[in-house]
Structure 1
Amino acid sequence: MPRRALDNPIVLAVLGLLLEQNSHPHQMLSELRQRSDSHAAVITRGTLYNTVAALAEAGWVASQGQERSGNRPERTVYALTRAGHDELVRRLDAQIRDPRREFSRFLGAVTYLGALGPAGAEEALVERARRLRQRTAADEERLADALAAGVPRLHVIEAEYALSLARAEAAWIDSAVGDIRAGSLTWPSDATTAPAPTGP
């Protein structure tokens, strides 16, 4: 198994799931997709199975035998090894300490905001803020329900962090929209919109 499989961002998530309980890859995939929109978008069955195989080869997880549910095929259940626990702790510590710049789709788009022109940029930003606040309200309700149900705050700390980021982004968008409307965020006169497409 190529060493680069151990550099996949989902390695940390898989090790973390196995810290909570032993699991088979199908169950891991379902749990990761349920917990995170970003995981749901990028994790495929093949990627997860390859990652688990790499973790087993590295000695970070170990098979605990087969499990069968109903008429479904047998599935291999994995557990975190001591070496896997140590690797999880090492990676967590490094990633929490290091405020590495992480590229996002929104950051990439904002880089070229000027191509939309003032009116287009304002309209797009206002729409993003509206959708962001809708999602944030739903996430706040889910978090409140979880806490009210007795889920320990430490177990949903990532939801608190995600909400904090969403609120900060919405505040920045409001500020940028206000600057566009006030004329303090200006466009060069020769670069207000993207050039019209040219046909054959």
Structure 2
Amino acid sequence: MGESSDCTQARLTPLAIMVLGLLRERPMHPYEMYQTLISRREQRLANVRPGSLYHTVDRLLQRELLCVNDVGRAGNRPERTVYAITAAGSAQVTEGLADMLAHPVSEYPQIHLALAEAHELPADQVVTLLDQRLDAMRAELSDLEGTIEAAEQRDVAEVFYLDVGLRVSVLRTQIDWLHVLARRIESGALEWPTRPHGSITETATTPTPTSQIPDVTRDHAPQEETSRT
């Protein structure tokens, strides 16, 4: 299989899918794509910047997923190249969206790592930091709820902002969970390790000795076949 074929099968980036989605609506020049994405607040979905968008358009053109539709000039302004999606591009965006909807991807959110290692910090500091995060999350939630309300007032079909609904639901759940966690740490209901002189002092809960942890691999290890006589 040739190099161009391998490139065509490469996974599309989120911004590439957004660009191809716009071109499914109508041919556009890159600056119009950028303005449209920003006006729709779709920078919430990917890193939308003029430089990255122009680079994405160039890559899609090289892969023949879009093509030049027209080159025009308005007054003394520089020429503007208008692009259109190709049949291959339409097929790729359909395949890419189907894959993203069907298969969860491990995205390794930083909050998961931060919570897993939060015991490295003093309890009062963790409470302060969690409350700070909660303030930011509540502000984001309010902004997203405002987005939904504005869309409803403009009679925008819900199908065009399903991602906002999911984000609102996830944020509400995370806010509730983190709030309860912060209050448990603050009240002492959740035992927290102390760290005199930078070392960990065990809490009242004694960890299970390694020797007492059952070897779960023993029951699942492949058994050697005994020779038959």
Question: What TM-score do the two structures reach when normalised by structure 2?
Answer: 0.72
2:207 aligned residue: none
Q: Which amino acid aligns with 1:25?
A: P
Among candidates 5, 29, 36, match of residue 43 of structure 2:
36
Distance change in 2, residues 1:193/1:58 (3 Å): same
Instruction: Please give the alpha-carbon distance, in whole angstroms, between the structure 1 residues aligned to 2:196 and 2:25.
Output: 53
Q: Does 1:159 align with 2:164?
A: yes
- Shift in Å, 1:125: 0.8
Correspondence for 1:94 among 89, 93, 99: 99
Higher Rg: 2
Partner of 2:24: 19
What CA RMSD, in Å, does the superposition of the two structures yield over aligned residues?
Answer: 2.9
SS in 1 for 2:82: strand
In 1, Cα distance between equivalents of 2:169 and 2:197? 33
1:100-111 counterparts in 2 under 5 A? 100-111=105-116
Q: Is the 8 A contact 1:63 1:78 kept in 2?
A: yes
Are positions 1:85 and 2:108 aligned together? no
Flag the 1:191–1:26 CA change in 2: closer, same or farther, 3 A. farther
- 3-state SS in 2 of match to 1:36: helix
The code of the aligned residue for 1:53 comes to: D
Distance apart, 1:47 and its partner CA: 2.7
Which residue number in structure 2 is paired with residue 137 of structure 1?
A: 142
Aligned residue-pair number: 193
Q: Does 1:189 align with 2:194?
A: yes
* Structure having the larger proportion of residues in helix: 1
Gaps of 5+ in 1: 195-200
Q: Greater RCO between the two (CA within 8 Å, min separation 6)?
A: 1
Aligned-partner Cα distance in 2 for 1:38–1:20: 19
Could you tell me how far 1:189 is from its partner in structure 2? 2.2
**1:158 shift after superposition:** 1.5
Cα distance in 1 between the residues matched to 2:122 and 2:198: 5
Q: TM-score, normalization: structure 1?
A: 0.82
Alpha-carbon separation, structure 2, partners of 1:192 and 1:96:
49
Output the CA distance in 1 between the equivalents of 2:197 and 2:101: 41
